[in-house]
Structure 1
Amino acid sequence: MGWTRTGPAFPGSASSGSSSWRPSVCGPLPIDMPITHLDTEARKQLDELELVYRSITSYRPAVSNPPILDSSLDAPINQDSDHISGLRPLLEAVKRDLDVTKQFLAAPHAASLPPPSTNAPYLIAVWKEVLSSPLPILAIGKTFSEHSKDTTTADAKGQKQALPQNSDKHKSAGVKVDVVADNGHTWIRVNTAKNARLLAEFREIDSHFTDSEDEDDNMVGPSLAQSEFDNSLLRVGRGLLAAARDNPILGTNKPPEVVLRLTRIDPDAPDECENDSRIALTVELLRKMGLSIKLGERGPISQLTDLAPALPPPPTLVPTHRINLDLSILVALVSDLSHAPLPDTVDAAYTRFIPSAEYVEWKRSRLRAKNGGSSDSIMNTIEDDVYGPNQHSRALSEQLLQEMRKGILQEIYERLLVYPGETTNGDAPLRVEFWTTPEARDRCLRIVAKIGGAAEKRRAHALFLADTDDTSVSLNEREAQYWAQSRYPRAFLPLLPIRVFSAPEPTSSIDTPPPHAGFFSALEATCRALLASGSAPTPPEEAGDGELQRAAVVRTNGRLTVHTVQSMLCGAVRGWTTLTANKASVKAVLREVRARGYGAEARGEGRLAALWIVDPRSLAQGMRSDISAAPA
């Protein structure tokens, strides 16, 4: 038997005054139904689950990729992001319920048994939201943190005191979002409870209220009756909104829109025993909180699959007019590969880097010095390294072949000057500027000084004078030094002067284009987190004096050097394109971006590239077989 309140509305409503509760004529909703109907419902559910399973397995995520311009020859890096977080767990859950339902229907007396308890209605509803929601879909079943605002406690005298940072109250509770849609701007939560669920809650509330009246008459014990109207749906709504406020769209202070899909709640149910005015009030209060409430189920799976929206073709990415250069590009800019005349044939490209006898002897002498003397085993290792299948000379030949297809300077020229991205008035391109970090500059100069050829050292000196305060050499003279003996005409690219950031780690975002704040902010936050973890101890070098110190790596990711992350941070914080030839590091950083929960923001919405990848060019002059002198 249920309970119905007489008099004014429930506690906490606008009405007030005396009231009482009486048993209602409608008891708990009956769940008994014909056995044949139960069997029919199970078969219908099986058909829907099979449709969902086929739909998921054939689904091709329409995701927008991070704004990365990939000019390298191998597979585009953006292919790695063609996925949706949570899609596989959803498929596995559907498969489990599918198997359970099949086993039930295959039982000899299935028609006389109640159907199995599964999550099928919920799983089907979630997939319908995936097929119907604004693209791109970024995650399914993602949990967001809701940070506790009450970080105080009362002492023995009732005085409030701040909690320690490691207190459980500081820990965030998880709030589940079923579908993260519209490039992270929309959160969707699915609730498949029926009216009967809320009615059962109301009956529980009513019973506490009645018990409270009896206790008031006898003046015993505390009351469990509500002082304000509340139920599970309202609590879900408050949790979602709190999590949305605590997890704004990265780069903005705007929380995502929260949609609550109530598939089986009907505030206007015609059957009196399935309705209660508090159901309609619950829906009204949820809307007043700021949630977007959607009632009822989506259409059939087959129809939704046919009508699923499609993403427009991605925009053509262009670099910004200010380019941030990392160490790999600085090396490429001075490399002999980028400037020397090209060979006429493929065979000539390979012949150019067959180590000469003089070079091999120079290599041996250096290793003797490192090991305190000669050794047959060491010499065998040296020769295997020089002449084996993975030898440095072959790698240089491969880079030279890439240069023959399209030179790296030609690639930069075409992207920046022939097809400019940003313009001042829609016609005239802005002046192109090249920037780098102090760490990248200093390490480039050390590398070139140690293993560069004469022309490579000259170019590096022209790009970065050893004494930055030296004004005796004019910019015009430095330009002449850089382009001397290059196959390109002088000033083919406006490289000089390469500007150096005054600080390696900017403290605030400047010049960040608002439409693209999402990815740039995600990249910035990730780089800051990586650098904050510190660097791993660098192993002591076994070489003697003058050897290059191994680059420090990030403590939490040995694939990333500190100077590489600093370079990416300097570009991301300003909204500038970072040009790199280090594709492995870009992949590693993208994995870090997603691992930190920035998948919803790590997408591109505009035309400007945040990262630009080209193939590497190593220092090569000292390895040329047609140049007799070994590196100094």
Structure 2
Amino acid sequence: MTEGSALAAVGTQLRTLATEIQQYLASVPEGDRYFPPIIDWHHPDEYAQTGVQGLSKFLHHVHKESAIVDALLESPSPPLEYSTNLVSLQGVWDAFKRSPRPLVGVWQTMERQGAPGSVKVDVVAAGGDEWVKVNTIKESRLMVEFREHDSYINSDYDSDSDAENGSSPGAELTNSLITQARLLIDAAQQCQRLPGLQQPRIRYVLTRLEENPEDGHRDPRIPQTFAVLRDLGIELEFAAQWGPPLPPLTRPAEAVPAIDIVLDLSVLIALCCDSTHCPLPQNEDELEARFRLLLVGDQTSTANGTHKPTPHLAPHSNATRDLRDQLQLEMTRPLIHDLRDQLSAAGITTPRFWCTREVYGRLPGLVEVIGGAAERRRAKALFDPAVGDFWRGSRWEGDAGCLTSISVTIIEDGELATHEPEMAFDATVAAVCERMIAAGGPSTPPSREPTPGPTKPTRPPKKKAEPKTKNKKDRDRGQASKNPLRPGTVFPASSRLPSGHTLRTLLAGIQARATVLTNNRGAVLKVMREAGVTDGIPDTDAGTRRARIWVVNSSSLAEWRRIEVEENNRRVLAGEEGFELRRQGHGNQS
């Protein structure tokens, strides 16, 4: 093969490689990504790993190398020799396709904590548990290193004549493979990961060396090098022994709820709220009119007589718009329908519902102040069956299925034990919740007394001016990256964190091996990001996937607003009818 044809073949291989990576990036296989054990009917993929870090950058380098080769081929005087990076690029991609899932990153730079410099990891696999390093060194290059080392130790050593006998007696075996391996091990051991995640293991892929060549190795120090690498705890892999790439994996089975359900404060409110139980609007007009007052303008006089004003709906406020949107979602996927069907599909006929004492103490303060009579009764019936049937007057009365006997127990008063984490998800999410709780400060002691009514407003104390940081570098100091391949984030006091009771509910459910039911989608997503879930973590779940978190749509207390609107609009319409009758009567009399 001529030099020109060899270079043309390299160009073809680079273009093929680029096309394959582009196709992969266009639709990253679901089996290569991490899907957490979270139920969310409306947003099922909101918390899943979205892609592979660094792969776009890797593709850019492939394109760059391909462009250089194409330019050389188009040159009137192409070089006789040109060393391309094809072997290295192809080796990384081939190792990537054979790495355990979830696949987290390509070409990631890992800092060596407490030591200068960094190391480059070619593939981060198994949710960060495995670092893959691809080395394209040839046996001839190793022989050069051995000779250089021998000549340095003993200037009288004749490397050409004694190559078969190896190094001089007493010399420590060293070469670039061993040096690189030790740097990788050092970086992996110092890698700061969230509690519950193990230190990364190293897999070393040699693309141009064979473990047992037919003619043997030219120097005994080559197999000795392999032995040293394995003694260091490295998994050694030879590309010559590779089989075909791993077959495509399918998306894991959907998570199912546990029999024990821990309720967040937001869901307790949604279970009691009017929109969950009141008959739904029959059309768009009824939906728009549910929470908006009817207004009547002034009468107008024209040459043709006096015209009565036409009633019209008041403009939306932020509150009415939110209530309208929540009701619209309830029409799409009713909360009780979602709970009943998911639990029944999991074979759960008698679910057990729980909440923390903190949530139990906060509920009356909200319901007693802004809830309607039926909402207040439901809030009491959830904890005290003597109050009466929770479903009385509800559109779900007689159709609640496995929720018919719903009752909530306080975790601290029941027998819901705490357990050690079962999987990486449990450990990382619990660790992030604990860090956020610590950053948020102490919690307010829960109370079962209703929140007192409004008091005379007082002027808030004047805030002291906070010292300004000098520059962005100072502001960011002490805040580590959110990337799961690097140390966990440090939460400064100014961070906007989820509420403490939400975090404590999440933590209680994770520790109890229950399913946390919440509609605080934003809080869940923030915790997932900080735990590295959306970037990919180890998938150690086996068998039936028990849902750790179950997210439903939010619903606010709305009874007072609906009743207020109904009464107002009834008066307005009655006034319109009376006005029309009076006008007709006056005309007849004249």
Fold shared by both chains (TM-score > 0.5) = yes
Please name the residue that 1:191 is paired with: 135
Closer/same/farther in 2, CA of residues 246 and 320 from structure 1, 3 Å limit: farther
Please name the residue that 2:468 is paired with: none
The one-character-per-residue Cα deviations of 1:29-69 (angstroms, maximum 9, x if unpaired) are: xxxxxxx7554443333222211111111012332411111
Please name the residue that 1:477 is paired with: 386
Match among 345, 349, 353 for residue 419 of structure 1: 345
The one-character-per-residue Cα deviations of 1:293-321 (angstroms, maximum 9, x if unpaired) are: 2223588xxx96xx651113421310111
**Aligned 8 A contact 1:434 1:498 in 2:** yes
The one-character-per-residue Cα deviations of 1:438-468 (angstroms, maximum 9, x if unpaired) are: 443444332323322222222223446xxxx
Closer/same/farther in 2, CA of residues 499 and 316 from structure 1, 3 Å limit: same
| Pairwise CA distance, 1:125 | 0.7
| Larger RCO (CA within 8 A; separation ≥ 6) | 2
| Pairwise CA distance, 1:589 | 2.3
Please name the residue that 1:50 is paired with: 15
Please name the residue that 1:66 is paired with: 36
- Bigger Cα displacement from structure 2, 89-98 vs 228-237: 228-237
Question: Do residues 449 (structure 1) and 334 (structure 2) align?
Answer: no
| Pairwise CA distance, 1:123 | 1.7
The one-character-per-residue Cα deviations of 1:240-293 (angstroms, maximum 9, x if unpaired) are: 445555669977676555321111124666899x93221121012223333222
Closer/same/farther in 2, CA of residues 446 and 125 from structure 1, 3 Å limit: same
Closer/same/farther in 2, CA of residues 546 and 115 from structure 1, 3 Å limit: farther
- Bigger Cα displacement from structure 2, 79-88 vs 335-344: 79-88
**Aligned 8 A contact 1:77 1:587 in 2:** no
- Bigger Cα displacement from structure 2, 346-355 vs 519-528: 346-355
Please name the residue that 1:278 is paired with: 221
Alignment of 1:212-611 (within 5 A): 228-242=172-186, 244=188, 257-266=201-210, 275-296=218-239, 308-355=246-293, 387-388=314-315, 391-416=318-343, 418-420=344-346, 429=348, 431-463=350-382, 475-478=384-387, 480=388, 482-489=390-397, 492-501=403-412, 510-512=418-420, 514=422, 517-534=423-440, 545=455, 555=493, 557-558=495-496, 560-594=498-532, 599-601=536-538, 606-611=544-549
**Structure 1: how far apart are the matches of 2:100 and 2:374?**
55
Which amino acid letter does the alignment assign opposite residue 103 of structure 1?
A
Closer/same/farther in 2, CA of residues 135 and 348 from structure 1, 3 Å limit: same
The one-character-per-residue Cα deviations of 1:112-167 (angstroms, maximum 9, x if unpaired) are: 4x315x543222111111223333323223355666xxxxxxxxxxxxxxxxxxxx
**Aligned 8 A contact 1:121 1:192 in 2:** yes
Which amino acid letter does the alignment assign opposite residue 319 of structure 2?
H
Which amino acid letter does the alignment assign opposite residue 599 of structure 1?
G
Please name the residue that 2:89 is paired with: 123
Closer/same/farther in 2, CA of residues 442 and 402 from structure 1, 3 Å limit: same
**Aligned 8 A contact 1:594 1:602 in 2:** no
Look up the SS of the partner of 1:521 in the other structure: helix
- Bigger Cα displacement from structure 2, 184-193 vs 124-133: 184-193
| Pairwise CA distance, 1:434 | 1.8
| Pairwise CA distance, 1:609 | 1.1
| Pairwise CA distance, 1:598 | 7.0
**Aligned 8 A contact 1:65 1:604 in 2:** no
Look up the SS of the partner of 1:315 in the other structure: coil
Which amino acid letter does the alignment assign opposite residue 461 of structure 1?
K
**Aligned 8 A contact 2:439 2:493 in 1:** yes
Which amino acid letter does the alignment assign opposite residue 48 of structure 1?
Q
Look up the SS of the partner of 1:81 in the other structure: coil
**Structure 1: how far apart are the matches of 2:267 and 2:456?**
24
**Aligned 8 A contact 1:68 1:78 in 2:** no
| Pairwise CA distance, 1:410 | 2.5
**Aligned 8 A contact 1:320 1:609 in 2:** yes
Which amino acid letter does the alignment assign opposite residue 531 of structure 1?
I
Aligned residues, how many? Answer: 493
Q: Give me the CA root mean square deviation.
A: 4.2
Which amino acid letter does the alignment assign opposite residue 538 of structure 2?
E
**Aligned 8 A contact 2:34 2:537 in 1:** no
Question: Do residues 97 (structure 1) and 65 (structure 2) align?
Answer: yes
Look up the SS of the partner of 2:546 in the other structure: coil
**Structure 2: how far apart are the matches of 1:356 and 1:139?**
57
**Structure 1: how far apart are the matches of 2:369 and 2:385?**
27
**Aligned 8 A contact 1:144 1:175 in 2:** yes
Please name the residue that 2:308 is paired with: none
The one-character-per-residue Cα deviations of 1:208-253 (angstroms, maximum 9, x if unpaired) are: 211599xxxxxxxxxx998532222123333444555566997767
**Structure 2: how far apart are the matches of 1:500 and 1:349?**
38
Closer/same/farther in 2, CA of residues 511 and 144 from structure 1, 3 Å limit: farther
**Aligned 8 A contact 1:435 1:498 in 2:** yes
Closer/same/farther in 2, CA of residues 593 and 254 from structure 1, 3 Å limit: closer
Which amino acid letter does the alignment assign opposite residue 94 of structure 2?
K
Instruction: Return the TM-score normalized by structure 2.
Output: 0.72
**Aligned 8 A contact 1:65 1:78 in 2:** no
Question: Which 5+ residue runs of structure 2 have no aligned equivalent?
Answer: 158-167, 297-312, 443-452, 461-490, 570-590
Look up the SS of the partner of 1:56 in the other structure: helix
**Structure 1: how far apart are the matches of 2:492 and 2:407?**
31
| Pairwise CA distance, 1:614 | 1.1
Which amino acid letter does the alignment assign opposite residue 394 of structure 1?
R
Closer/same/farther in 2, CA of residues 119 and 186 from structure 1, 3 Å limit: same
| Pairwise CA distance, 1:356 | 5.8
**Structure 1: how far apart are the matches of 2:99 and 2:498?**
37
Question: Do residues 83 (structure 1) and 2 (structure 2) align?
Answer: no
| Pairwise CA distance, 1:329 | 0.7
